[in-house]
Structure 1
Amino acid sequence: MAVTSPMTGGEAIVAGLLANGVDTVFGLPGAQMYPLFDALARSADRIRTVGARHEQACGYMAFGYGRSTGRPGVYSVVPGPGLLNTTAALATGWGCNTPMVCLTGQIPSAFIGRRRGHLHEIADQLGTLRSLVKWAERIERPADAPALVAEAFRQAQSGRPGPVALEMAWDVMAASEAVPEAAAAVLDAPPKSDAMAVSHAANLIRAARCPMIMTGSGAQDAAAAVALLAERIGAPVAAFRGGRGVVDEAGPWGLSSYAAFRLWERCDLVVAIGTRLEMPTMRWANMMEVATRLDGGRKLVRIDIDPEETGRLEADAPLVADSREAVLALLEALAGHRPVDNRAAIEAARAAAAEAIRVVQPEIDYLDVVRDVLPAEGLLVEELCQAGFASYFGYPVHRPRTYVSTGFQGTLGYGFQTALGVKVAHPDKPVVSITGDGGFMFGVQELATARQYGIGLVTVVFNNAAYGNVRRDQETRYGNRLIGADLINPDFPALAKAFGVDGASVGSPEELRPVLAAALSKGTPALIEVRLQRGSEASPWPFIHPVKAY
């Protein structure tokens, strides 16, 4: 292996980033990270560094970058409290199987483990990281950096994707020595489907009268193959959050989650592709009981790249493989198959669901406007707000990776900050963040980041002066004893303008349409407040937990 001229630890890390095709780092510099950020500054023609006003935004922006592209989102912050400020983003990336690379520092190497109270010391930073991410390691010397950076990118992208982390001590990052030439990570070859398992799965599909395909995040790169499988076996395709857009939900086979629920009693077989099956095993069942297999005697063909998943939910035909490869193998095994024609039932479920969800107002009318204004390739980032919850079933998704969700982590406040990273990753595509007033204020300071870096994100803030979901639950389940639910907010348009960002306020879907269209066409950062009366929004939960009464 070729050896380069002497490099600092920071320079060696950046060399590894460049070898792995990194074009953006989200970061907030500090004392322990100066050598790394200096190396980034000297590589500014090849790597863009996007700063932030809070470390949490660095993590969330990296999450948005990774979630919407499938490529690792990279961020860097100081150790200790700086790193801890990003752990919600790391947990969200872990929950959403999103490739992320966290680069952080450490106290001087001689102090590690001594608990002397050095600047930013925490008891066991590496152990803390390992409890949150897929893989974490310490770089002990500059010469080790290229190999460990490559390993980090291999871990983040091989098998089940996920966040990883590297730390380097303060003194090591500044030290210099001869460093091996950096090289790109060599990803693990994904497992291939077992021929006998494929044959068994194909036989189960042939015997099914009303099959259904359910997709998760692991199916996002298998969209074309999944669409062919849906047509081949005559099955509707549905997803709860992460797998949305794999098949066009406005096409002949794609369905909203609620429309799929209306077909659930008829369904006798599920083909699950890259999904934990949260929708049928929890959302359509009992969230407090662990399901070990599908109910109602339904058969399950399950495709997942992670062999551990086969032990979490019993499948009749488990296929441990890459989603695209396994679906193509099934298509080959099903050559000549003539499915039962369920198209009339699918269309009936679609129409009935579309009519039923109209009661979720005003959320559905606002989502209709967003969907009409955004082109098919435009990206929507939801948030834990009433419109965000309604988007699970009331916002049709047309393309893969164009609907960004927090997944099962339910990370309140992630949305606006994540959407900034989505927009950085897709500068030529329109990106809309929908958020509530409560969640938006978790990261309101990042309006400054949008302005400083020209991030043309359009943020729609639904202002109901409350944590709306909390307030409804306290009203209906706890005798209207309200605590911590009502909010006093700033003048959002004026606040946006104070940051140098376009601000507007609307009071109806009709008012939103031209304002949103104009903001997207301008291509600069914008905030649009939607004024709502506190407590006026209809509950979306009957369509998310449709077997429960709320």
Structure 2
Amino acid sequence: MTKASQPRNTAARRLVDTLVMNGIDTVFCVPGESYLAVLDALADVEDRIRVITCRHEAGAANMAEAYGKLTGKPGVCMVTRGPGATHASIGVHTAHQDSTPMILFVGQIALTDRGRGAFQEVDYRQVFGGLAKWATEIESPQRTVEIVERAFATALQGRMGPVVIALPEDILHEDGGPAPTRPVTPARSALPSTFLDDLRMRLSRAERPLLVLGGSGWTDAAAGAVGDWAERLGLPVSLSFRRKDILSNDRANYAGDLGLGCNPKLMARAREADLLIAIGARLGENPTQGYTLFDRAKTAETLVHIHPGPEELDRVWPTLMSAAADVSLAAEAIAGIDPGRTWADLGKQARADYEAFSAEVEVTGAVNMSRCMAHLAEALPHDAILTNGAGNFAAWLHRFYRHRSCRTQLAPTSGAMGYGYPAALAAKAVHPDREAICVAGDGDYLMTGQELATAVQHGLGCVVIVVDNGTYGTIRMHQEGHYPGRVIATDLKNPDFVAYARAFGAFGVRCETTEAFPDALDQARAAARAGQPALLHLITSAEDIAPNRTISGLRNG
């Protein structure tokens, strides 16, 4: 059967129709025979949906997750059954931990073969049940639109997150039932007026308040409104772990981020706050320094917690006040509160503490990452998108780079290695007019570095700065702390990353000193602006394992 003569109402085509109806303009995939019918349906909408073919399902899933963060729409990933799905599970886990809307479509064995232990058979409801908000399988082709629309609603409502849908290959060719008629509009909850009145009263009495912003679902307008309000009042503002782009880090009352390697003075400020207002942040393990930052008895008297997912409220920390509400609606409403007082001195001191903590630090090696990341912040436009995966290298980026616009940070709160480079490719696909810069560790980068082929194939001109210290730095740091001098399994033998980049048809440049970094960065950015993906190989010393930490210092206690 030729493509022109295929029925227009198959389940595969209804699925694609629903994506189009809901404004999805990009799909990230590794193709598989188990969902060929869906790929064929996508061929008919190439003018509306761009299909980016990736080299590994983990890369495709990470790209989809980053798309969800940037656009607020579910990032769509398509993979084949069995190994394709399990490879993609890392992106689903990140989307779950990071509260990112995402839909993973997985090709599946035919319904007629289910339960036989067929080739690559997997029970996706069972495998993804704890990773996704909802994991299901389309078992009736006539319900295709219903299931996919429910996936959009589930991914977008309450605490956002991923949905997994298995697609049995035999039902994709059958009658797909009714067509979609309108896009899904997610429900959003607002704060009640009584809550706002109570909060105004408590703010008017607070001497040491702190505002903490985090989570997903922020609009530019809402972030700007609550940022302006807090700055006008002098109310200190902290951002949660890897959410540094919600507000400009240049604001006069910005106190820093509650992440790994947190400013001790910010931690003290959070502990001593007599009113802690958290909007969107879950206040999970990393922001609370392993659940040690707060005292449960005190949070019951000081914590005002606003989160879109009611299941997150009073989950760990008892609250003084709590509300299940959309973060943007809540922030805009709170920005209208007049507490009848200001905290100018408090805001100034919080800012001074942040400035002191983000000042340059001394290192032992030829490359000072604190200076390199500070230069990066000054050299890049304010709308440049910075991405990273996981590793000690990221501590330099988070501490010394200043974000100045919303949606300029893509970083996994899940701590997933290999996330940064696929995320940068997604950023360039979504915003081709903006610069996308990935900062990756050497071990981190090679987990998804093959996606350089994807960047070249699809003309995604982003820059990756590979920070090469020849070790799995985070594990080495803990290893030296717990078992000084007993190094095992953390040393890395790396390739010539410049030659690696050139082998793919990308630009590559090597940098070995702080002084050479600005020129190397200029070369890489120029190549990327011309449409050529670029790699900057930055050689650093493993001795400078993290800001203010050296391996020798760890060994010596």
TM-score by length of 1: 0.91
Of 293, 304, 328, which aligns to 2:332? 328
In structure 2, how many angstroms separate the alpha carbons of the residues matched to 1:144 and 1:519? 49
Residue 134 of structure 2 aligns to which amino acid in structure 1? W
Contact 1:217 1:242 in 2 (8 A): no
Contact 2:26 2:49 in 1 (8 A): yes
Contact 1:232 1:337 in 2 (8 A): no
Matching residue of 2:64: 62
In structure 2, how many angstroms separate the alpha carbons of the residues matched to 1:541 and 1:21? 47
Please list the CA deviations of residues 410-440 of structure 1 after superposition, one character each: whole Å capped at 9, or x if unmatched: 1122221222222211211101000111111
| Aligned ranges 1:64-83 → 2 under 5 Å | 64-83=66-85
* 2:529 counterpart of 1:529: no
Matching residue of 2:463: 458
Shift of 1:278: 3.7
Please list the CA deviations of residues 35-80 of structure 1 after superposition, one character each: whole Å capped at 9, or x if unmatched: 1111112221111100011111110110111122222111100111
Matching residue of 1:445: 450
Of 30, 44, 47, which aligns to 1:45? 47
Matching residue of 2:552: none
In structure 1, how many angstroms separate the alpha carbons of the residues matched to 2:334 and 2:515? 47
Matching residue of 1:192: 190
Decide whether aligned partners of structure 1 residues 149 and 441 sit closer, same or farther in structure 2, where only a CA change above 3 A counts: same
Contact 1:471 1:482 in 2 (8 A): yes
| Aligned ranges 1:432-511 → 2 under 5 Å | 432-511=437-516
Of 367, 378, 381, which aligns to 1:372? 378
SS at match of 1:448: helix
Matching residue of 1:390: 396
Contact 2:462 2:534 in 1 (8 A): yes
Matching residue of 1:309: 312
Judge which range, 318-327 or 304-313, deviates more.
318-327
Shift of 1:296: 8.3
Decide whether aligned partners of structure 1 residues 280 and 404 sit closer, same or farther in structure 2, where only a CA change above 3 A counts: closer
Shift of 1:163: 0.8
In structure 1, how many angstroms separate the alpha carbons of the residues matched to 2:176 and 2:278? 50
Matching residue of 1:172: 171
SS at match of 2:100: coil
Shift of 1:519: 2.2
Q: In the comparison of the two structures, how many residue pairs are matched?
A: 533
Residue 106 of structure 1 aligns to which amino acid in structure 2? Q
Judge which range, 485-494 or 378-387, deviates more.
378-387
Residue 431 of structure 1 aligns to which amino acid in structure 2? A
Judge which range, 345-354 or 243-252, deviates more.
345-354
Shift of 1:290: 9.7
Decide whether aligned partners of structure 1 residues 161 and 32 sit closer, same or farther in structure 2, where only a CA change above 3 A counts: same
Shift of 1:358: 5.6
Of 35, 38, 54, which aligns to 1:36? 38
Residue 100 of structure 1 aligns to which amino acid in structure 2? M
Of 88, 106, 109, which aligns to 2:108? 106
Matching residue of 2:155: 156
SS at match of 1:406: coil
Please list the CA deviations of residues 149-207 of structure 1 after superposition, one character each: whole Å capped at 9, or x if unmatched: 1111111111211111211211111x232631213443342222122222222111111
* 2:423 counterpart of 1:418: yes
Matching residue of 1:255: 255
Shift of 1:238: 1.2
Please list the CA deviations of residues 218-251 of structure 1 after superposition, one character each: whole Å capped at 9, or x if unmatched: 3632212221331343212111334322221112
Contact 1:378 1:429 in 2 (8 A): yes
Decide whether aligned partners of structure 1 residues 38 and 280 sit closer, same or farther in structure 2, where only a CA change above 3 A counts: closer
Contact 1:215 1:238 in 2 (8 A): yes
| Aligned ranges 1:232-381 → 2 under 5 Å | 232-257=232-257, 258=263, 260-261=266-267, 263-264=269-270, 267-278=273-284, 282-283=288-289, 287=290, 293=296, 295=298, 299-312=302-315, 313-334=317-338, 336-339=340-343, 341-355=345-359, 362-381=368-387
Shift of 1:317: 1.5
In structure 2, how many angstroms separate the alpha carbons of the residues matched to 1:508 and 1:269? 46
* 2:406 counterpart of 1:406: no
Decide whether aligned partners of structure 1 residues 358 and 214 sit closer, same or farther in structure 2, where only a CA change above 3 A counts: farther
In structure 2, how many angstroms separate the alpha carbons of the residues matched to 1:346 and 1:55? 43
Give the unaligned 5+ runs of structure 2: 1-5, 258-262, 550-555
SS at match of 1:85: helix
Residue 198 of structure 2 aligns to which amino acid in structure 1? H
Shift of 1:272: 0.6
Matching residue of 1:182: 180
Residue 440 of structure 2 aligns to which amino acid in structure 1? T
Residue 484 of structure 2 aligns to which amino acid in structure 1? G
Please list the CA deviations of residues 466-509 of structure 1 after superposition, one character each: whole Å capped at 9, or x if unmatched: 11222222223213211110011111100110111111100123
Residue 333 of structure 2 aligns to which amino acid in structure 1? A
Using the aligned pairs only, state the percent identity: 30
SS at match of 1:166: strand
SS at match of 2:543: coil
Decide whether aligned partners of structure 1 residues 281 and 85 sit closer, same or farther in structure 2, where only a CA change above 3 A counts: closer
**Aligned-residue RMSD, C-alpha:** 2.6
* 2:127 counterpart of 1:128: yes
In structure 2, how many angstroms separate the alpha carbons of the residues matched to 1:369 and 1:432? 13
Contact 1:272 1:301 in 2 (8 A): yes
In structure 1, how many angstroms separate the alpha carbons of the residues matched to 2:297 and 2:523? 47
SS at match of 1:311: coil
Residue 178 of structure 2 aligns to which amino acid in structure 1? P
Contact 1:379 1:429 in 2 (8 A): yes
Of 212, 218, 221, which aligns to 1:220? 218
In structure 2, how many angstroms separate the alpha carbons of the residues matched to 1:119 and 1:327? 50
Decide whether aligned partners of structure 1 residues 356 and 446 sit closer, same or farther in structure 2, where only a CA change above 3 A counts: closer
Contact 1:153 1:185 in 2 (8 A): no
Matching residue of 2:553: none
Matching residue of 1:513: 518
Give the unaligned 5+ runs of structure 1: 543-548
